[in-house]
Amino acid sequence: MIVYEKEDAFIMIAQQDHARISGDLVSAWQDSLFHSAERREELNLAAYEHDSSWIDLDRIPLWNDAVNAPFSFRDFPGNIRFIFYSKGLDRVQETSEYASLLGSILYTTLAEQFRNEDTVTFVEREFARQSAIIERLQLDVKLLQLHAKALLLCDELSLFACMEQPGTLRENYEWFANGLSYWFDRSGQTQLIPEWIGESTIELDPFPFRGAVETAISFKEVRKPDIARYGIAEAYRREKLQEHKLFFRPKS
């Protein structure tokens, strides 16, 4: 779950809904930024399904009494999440080994950033998965690296859109205020800068997509009085899913 706090409510975005935005972005990626058009459908699948492991975890949100807020992806217990990560990757692998490989690379890249006792077994197991798939499919490693980097970038762009209230000014960004790492610009630019323009548009510099990307943020606004009355799980269940239209476009 992606969570941010308002004065009288929590905005809660399921990870699979965040992944859908990632998928919409990856699907619009310029082919010219890869050296081959191979395996695009599997790359798209990897983006749409990379957080499917969270579907069961997000169905019934949990309360973190240490911070008096719902657990989010940032503080959800690692000994639980990594079990579900592996199960989710197993399910994706039944459909596409390549998509599962990309999801595994994404997860291990993130896990390596905060290595601890919860991540060691998971990372080792996933490295074994990755090696086996690469050998079995005899992959173009250069293309695989580009696909993995595009997936990571689109995952981070979706997080940027979901982690804070639409329209947040750059000086108030919690993450990504200095941009996102970018590996595709032949001019040598190494940072992609996202910025909210109003409440429904994010401008990007540079812009790696074929054209403006239209998508939507699906969320629930769970009121704090309802949480106090019903508990977080029931308060979340009672709320209707809302949708906020979102556009990514080049910097004007």
- Residues 81, 83, 85, CA angle at the centre, nearest 5°? 70
CA pair distance 44, 110, nearest whole angstrom = 20
What percentage of the chain carries pLDDT values higher than 90? 75
At 241 the three-state DSSP class reads coil
Mean pLDDT of 133-162: 94
User: 211 or 113, which is more confident?
Assistant: 211
Domain that holds residue 30: 2-250
Q: Which residue(s) pair with 201 in the sheet?
A: 197, 247
- Mean pLDDT of the chain, nearest integer: 92
Domain count, the chain: 1
**Of the segments 109-118, 178-187, 196-205, which one has the largest average pLDDT value?**
196-205
- The pTM for the full model equals 0.93
Confidence of residue 70 (pLDDT cuts 50, 70, 90): very high
- Which one-letter DSSP state was computed for residue 187? T
207, 30 Cβ separation under 8 angstroms: no
Counting other chains too, the contacts that 223-229 makes at CB distance below 8 Å and 24 or more residues apart are: 223/8, 223/9, 224/8, 224/9, 224/10, 225/8, 227/10, 227/63
Query: Strand runs (DSSP E) across the chain, as ranges?
Result: 2-5, 9-13, 63-64, 69-70, 180-181, 191-197, 201-205, 213-223, 242-250
- Nearest-Å Rg of the Cα atoms of the chain is 18
114 pLDDT higher than 90: no
CA pair distance 112, 126, nearest whole angstrom = 12
User: 215 or 34, which is more confident?
Assistant: 215
